[in-house]
A and B are shown apart, each in its own frame.
Chain A
Amino acid sequence: MQVIKQAMIVFATLAFMNSAYPANAPDSAQPPQKLLKSTADHSKFKELQQEFASGPEVTKACIGCHTEAAKQIHLTQHWKWEFRNPDSQQLLGKKHVVNNFCTSVTSNYKACASCHIGYNTDGPNFDLTSETNVDCLVCHDQTGKYKKPAGFAGNPVVKDTEFPPGSGKIVKGIDLSDIAQKVGQTRRATCGACHFYGGGGDGVKHGDLDSSLEAPEKAVDVHMDSKGLNFSCSTCHMTEGHQVPGSRYAPTAQDKEAAHMRGKSDKSNPTTCQACHGQAPHKKEAKLNDHTDKLACQTCHIPAFARGDVPTKMSWDWSTAGKRGPDGKPLVVKDEDGYDTYLGIKGDFVWKTNVTPEYMWFNGKVKYTLADDKIEKANQPIYISKFEGSADDGKSMIWPVKLFRGKQPFDAENKTLTINHLAGQDDAAYWKNLNWDKAIAAGMAAAGKPFSGKYDFIETAAMWPIAHMVAPKDKALGCSDCHSSNGRLEKVDGIYIPGRGRDHIALLDTAGWALAALTLLGVIGHGIGRILTAKRTH
């Protein structure tokens, strides 16, 4: 008995020790060190092992080794926010266009610059030649901790700061040293930090770019599927010397090139679908390849946008802004999902998920209505950006498009769209005082444009090409989605679509069926006659 008792104690002790020292367990062995993909471990660089008091200090350390990086950035749209359209010669880019979301960056740089890849972007004339003002971290951060809050001219906040001053709200400081030591290639989330949140929030602007693409399911995006192909943005938007191909200011609407031979020198756009898939991508059903002359791949393969459960804004009516709640603060109305359908500082919104695009011919040329262009209220809606193209110009394809509708202020006498001062802590900022007179006057003054003092609201519309959220092939559109009356392409002119009633010569159909019916009646009559006469003769 004694022996058994002792044995039990020993056994129990051993069992306890085993669980108390999990390090001995075979499944808790040290994981093998993760292999870095990069040849440089930035945490080992002495230049980065210091406390950084500002963004530019980090950049200074970066360009100590990456000597050409900032110069390359200086040549990009990401830096200049400016783009000269080679066809129309229109001077575009965020710096110049008036949109129908927050309308213009001109007098709102301190807020808008949270999405600029530079530091100290405090006005339209910020120093474009400064290398240290290039923000390396915003694209190369791997920690997810890097933030550029609105209102700081594109600077990160390193110490806890009350903002707006006197508001009691604290913006937490971030550790730039830690972030700088962990830099790496761009990721969906780093590109997305700006491109998913354009227009003031998640999914607001594009509809085919939102935070659901940070780690999407296959059904949302077959290429970015985080458990599958797991493409990053730069897999398609493959950069060379920091130049990112694929601009929506001058998109490639039609790509007749074969798939790219990687490494082969060519000037075509590597971000088109054809750049990888070529012109005849359908192997099983060759007839589908006959569609690649007229249809953008996106037309069938992106059956809807905002498919990741993040809604996108479909319209924004600034004319109703300005209402205050019982507490005197700008009124806020939210829908059952918590999305704001009315904001006193912004007006009325319409949000939608799973949106069916509009379809139109697009030749890659986009015409913008800029701040100097004359507009007439009789021509509502004013197309702030309008896709050009037709069935017979030989350059157009049918594209899916997000048509964003708005109503925004314009100078009723000078007949131009206005630049509006929205953000800021000053008295003229609309979001502070809800006073259009002051906000427009300040915005126009900042832009150096004349303002008559009389404003009105005008309906506007903007077109956005749909190119992301490519669905898996079994979720692509089927034949009858377009080959039918009142189908997806009902409104598209200049093309014969078998199955679409309005393409028929009505006379032929009517005459054909009428003759068939007459023939049938004739033979039935003849047959009846035979039966009757047969009875009589018997």
Chain B
Amino acid sequence: MARVYIFKGFERFWHWTQALLIITMLVTGFEVHGTYSLLGWHKAGELHTTSAWALMGLWVFAIFWHFTTGEWRQYIPTTSKMLDVALFYAFGMFKGEHHPYLKTKNRKHNPLQRVAYLGVKLFINPLLWCSGLFYLFYNQLGAVGLGGVSLGLIALAHTLGAFLMLLFLIAHIYLGTAGHTPTAHFKAMVTGWDDDVNEEPLGAKAQ
């Protein structure tokens, strides 16, 4: 094990800004939905829309970053050791075992993380992104031949996406405490340095 600089500056900026925006959007979004009254509908709606534009802008940069740096490979799913990781969370953790997945700089997500993050990126985000844009431009849908889509359906898809994001967020925050110490993952995500990383084996490839 070694202390390795694993999360780059942009990655950390992107992660935490996204976290802030997503939490803001969950809070304001469920107010717009009518679940509770906190900021007032007008302010909630405004903040939700502003955050949405900011997040979409951030996503554009993040996608660009992932492809130019090759970091997109971190999300290639794998079944290798997936069962081990699941068993570790179910039993091993309670026995004081070490995490069965040895991360390296080029394979920093364990198999469960890969599947979960890929799901967020390929399903939840696009669902929220598309339904959100439909919501924002509802009155212009007719002009692009989508006039038949009802606002109720758009809202349904958007709400579904919001619940999935909420579930992800709860699990994600909790699993953030599942490092070799409860704060290890958080520290790594803030400073970029993780002290529980395998040295990069020579010629290692991202799987």
Contact = CB atoms under 8 A, between A and B. Distances in A.
B205 interface: no
A508 interface: yes
A511 B163 CA distance: 9
A479 B95 CA distance: 55
A485 B174 contact: no
Interface residues of B, number: 32
A520 B170 contact: yes
Interface stretch (B38-46, B54-62, B63-71): B38-46
Contacts, number: 87
B96 A496 contact: no
A512 B94 contact: no
24 contacts: A479-B41, A483-B32, A496-B150, A496-B152, A496-B155, A498-B33, A498-B45, A498-B151, A498-B155, A503-B152, A505-B156, A505-B159, A508-B163, A511-B163, A515-B167, A516-B163, A516-B167, A519-B167, A519-B170, A520-B170, A526-B89, A533-B93, A534-B96, A537-B95
Given A498-B155, A516-B163, A516-B170, A290 B139 contact: yes
A161 interface: no
A483 B167 CA distance: 26
A26 interface: no
B145 interface: no
Given A496-B150, A496-B151, A504-B33, A519 B96 contact: no
Interface residues of A, number: 35
Interface string A465-489: 0000000000000111001110000
Given A479-B45, A515-B167, A527-B174, A533 B96 contact: yes
Contact of A523 (B93, B159, B171): B171
Interface in B103-148: 138-139
Nearest to B142: A293
Main SS at interface, chain A? helix
Contacts of B96: 533-534, 537
Residues of B contacting A: mostly: helix
Contacts of B20: none
A410 B93 CA distance: 84
Given A496-B152, A519-B167, A530-B94, 4 more contacts: A480-B41, A512-B160, A523-B170, A537-B96
A508 to B, nearest CB: 6
Contacts of A537: 95-96
A529 interface: yes
B80 interface: no
Interface string A389-407: 0000000000000000000
A64 interface: no
B34 A499 contact: yes
A498 B158 CA distance: 11
B166 interface: yes
Contacts of A453: none
A480 B155 contact: no
Considering residues B33, B34, B42, which has the most beta carbons from chain A within 10 angstroms of its beta carbon? B34
